[in-house]
Structure 1
Amino acid sequence: MNESFKELQNISKSIDEILRVDEISQEIKESASKLNKTVEPCVKEIQQSASRLNNLVQGCFNDLSQAEDIWHSKQRIDQIATSEIWEEVGDLSGRVLRLRRLGNEYKSETVKQVKKSWYKRMARLENSSFYSNTNKPKTSLNIFEKDDLIKNLQSEVNFQLAGLKQKLSPNKAETGFMRGKYVTING
């Protein structure tokens, strides 16, 4: 998956370079710009989802750190019954398992969304490249059509990777999880 992210980043950089070069036709620049605009929402959604997942995991780590501090505190341990400590450890273990389950569900949902987006993009690219305006298959592509196809494909891959990267990025702080559902970690 990391390689895919890198590949999409390379494609994105290629699009940026295309847009900066003066010798490239306006038509190609417009195509690259349109492609960039279609992928941008996917990238944002992937980044937001990653941020949500990161926040959930961070909450779990905070809870574990707090439990560790209590465990190491001699005075506190002397005052608390052993059964109560084990009960808290069990509760924290349950939370970790729930977070793992939610993380797996989220990853699965993310993969479904990314695949759906990819198939839609590829269908559009296939229709625009291999079929004429009358919906009949083209018998061949000229050199300009081939170049356009390659650039559009690179663009699509870049945008798809950027979308994944954004969705899985831990940089944004949001508390929502999976289509507006919120998760209570404490119980």
Structure 2
Amino acid sequence: MNNYFSTLRSVSQSVEGVLADQYKGVESMEIKQTANHLNLSVQACLKELTQSSNFLRKDLQACLVTLDSAEDKWQSKQQVAEIDTSEVLEAIGQVVGYWNQLQQQMEKITQEVIELEQRNWTLLIEELREKFFLDPKTQEQRVGIGWGDKDRFKLVFPSKLKLISNNLDQAIQAIFRQFRDSGQVFFEETFFFVKLLDVESQLQLNTEQVQLLRELQENAEQVSRTSDAYALNLYQMVGGVIEEWNKRFGEILWKEIEDLYKKGLEKIEERVELIIHDRLKLLEKCVQQVLLFFNDLLEKQYRYQQEMLTQHKAEKVWLDQQRHQVKELLADLEKNLNLSIPT
């Protein structure tokens, strides 16, 4: 390419000399017309050559970026090969131990919440029984209620039920809020080792971790959001029954309330376990990602240690050779592009 630039510049200078009457015997009108046409053609060639050189410069700069990335990976190989394996195994033990402890804690708290909310549900039903289904004179159990008692019951029961239902969801939310930062705790075990990787791998891992942590945060705030099912809350579960009471003329039977009570006990346990299990799966994804990272790190360490014996120095020499050649080409190209081009 240097020869092209040099030759075209030489022709351009010669043309300018003819047009300026610097050459004796080369002064006719015809030769000057030729010189003018030639000058236009030469300038077009120089313009095309300059544009091509600019494209080539971008490609050569991209080559250097590729080689820089390769050297970053090469340096990372050395750092990974020199990791103390016992530190990796210790970090794995910390993650597994904390995960087991976390599951036990969540199971314990989950059962406590289920028992508490089932007691609250039982107390509500007993309160309603005493208020509406016990004869005020004889204190005997009524089979059913109608007329005024029925109307008052239909006003009181939904509001009480909604309160119990909301309290249940708040209790579920409180459980997970206690543990939503656990994902960050798991990832913290990887931070030291991630810094030993090349920049590209670091960015990829950080992106994956941020995405999972964001998902944990969002799900901590949305109780009814589950990955595999939409869990109806306690209030929604009996909404159809209340609607049916409003439509019919007959009594509300105590047996209906007993059936609702049994379903409510089941629903409380089902809802708490479903949602907490769903959130635990998100935390488990964090644990799996961390353990996969460490497993991959140990596999790479073993491979890199084998390469260190034969390939490592040779790879460095090869990278340096390619970088030297590309830099020479780029420097030569920059030199030509920076030279002034005659017009």
> TM-score band, normalised by the shorter chain?
0.3 to 0.5
TM-score normalised per structure 1: 0.47
TM-score by length of 2: 0.27
Q: Radius of gyration: which is bigger?
A: 2
